[in-house]
Amino acid sequence: MNLVVGATGMLGGEICRLLAALGKPVRALVRSSSNPDSVLRLERGGAHLVRGDLKDRASLDAACRGATAVISTVSSTVSRQAGDSIESVDRQGQLHLIDAAAAARVTHFVLISFPKVDVAFPLQSAKRAAEERLQRSGMTYTILQSTFFTEIWLSPALGFDAASATAQVYGTGENRISWISFTDVAQFAVAALDTPQAKNAVLKLGGPEALSPLEVVRLAEQRTGKKFQVQLVPEATLRAQHGGATDPLQQSFAALMLYYARGDVIDMQETLRAFPVQRLRSVREYLEASA
């Protein structure tokens, strides 16, 4: 049995779909306050639903009972639910889940994280604490450190709006990023369960090509036939936001924007040779599909 925690989210839902398509049994952790449409989609997709919450250790013990693998995609950064925070979900919640999985004799735990960033911030501290606890847990572990999700960072929510031909770009926009689709992260998470090279491994994940934000803007201009209005947010502004933020979430977003500004290119050749995943989705394909 494969337990997916964060199943009602974008990435978790895709992981459930892929597991079911492969005929692998899926147990999806949902909360009483989860979006009913997301819960119904999981149920119709063949997932067995189990009620629980990362802030309730007893519910995690019950959810992990009988599971052979756990895949955790949870993050408070996209949650709007009362009581959710970086401390309660990304740190304490993940630690409780790892402990519950180990106590239930789960054999393999897959954790979705992100690469190390050279500035301190609460979300990174929480992720590293979870990674360290998992590596000491005695379970086989796979830590997938993915770069920027195309569908999130190149979306209107974060200032990239192809429909209105506007783009907010952090830093100079000239440093390249290995953007990755959440659908490909889902592929790696599922493949990790049966890939020998994924055992007790920390893997950085990026997409099929590295493009600077300004190169992405030019691609979008070619696709839409529109000239984009680009707003550059200087690194100095981001550093000031990071240094002056008192809210952990705001400070974390400012730090991630600094990470974006500095870029991150990931060589995927060795990982792709080891993992039986399909062709990775390019930024061009994303722009064409979203136009």
Q: How many CB atoms lie within 10 A of CB 44?
A: 8
Question: 163 burial class (0-12, 13-18, 19+ CB within 10 angstroms)?
Answer: exposed
Q: What is the CA 95 to chain-centroid distance, rounded?
A: 17
Rounded to whole angstroms, what are the CA distances from 284 to 97, 158, 181? 37, 18, 11
Q: How many CB atoms lie within 10 A of CB 73?
A: 23
Claim: this prediction has a pTM higher than 0.85: yes
pLDDT in tens, the chain (291 residues): 999 999 999 999 999 999 999 999 999 999 887 888 988 899 899 999 999 999 999 999 999 999 999 999 998 877 667 678 899 999 999 999 999 999 999 999 999 999 999 999 999 999 999 999 999 999 999 999 999 999 999 999 999 999 999 999 999 999 999 999 999 999 999 999 999 999 999 999 999 999 999 999 999 999 999 999 999 999 999 999 999 999 999 999 999 999 999 999 999 999 999 998 878 999 999 999 876
First-to-final CA distance of the chain: 39
d(C-alpha 30, C-alpha 49), whole Å: 7
Q: What is the CA 267 to chain-centroid distance, rounded?
A: 19
d(C-alpha 183, C-alpha 170), whole Å: 24
pLDDT at 290: 79
**Cβ-contact 213, 170 below 8 angstroms:** yes
In order, the DSSP letters of the chain are -EEEETTTSHHHHHHHHHHHHTT--EEEEE-TTS-HHHHHHHHHTTPEEEE--TT-HHHHHHHHTT-SEEEE---GGG--STT--IIIIIIHHHHHHHHHHHHTT-SEEEEEE----SS--HHHHHHHHHHHHHHTSSSEEEEEEE--BHHHHTSGGGTEETTTTEEEEETTS-S-B--B-HHHHHHHHHHGGG-GGGTTEEEEE--SS-B-HHHHHHHHHHHH--PPEEEEE-HHHHHHHHHH--SHHHHHHHHHHHHHHH-B----HHHHHHS-PPPPPPHHHHHHHH-
d(C-alpha 263, C-alpha 147), whole Å: 10
Strands of 229-233's sheet in order across: 160-161, 166-170, 229-233
Strands of 2-5's sheet in order across: 48-51, 26-30, 2-5, 69-72, 108-113, 140-146, 201-205
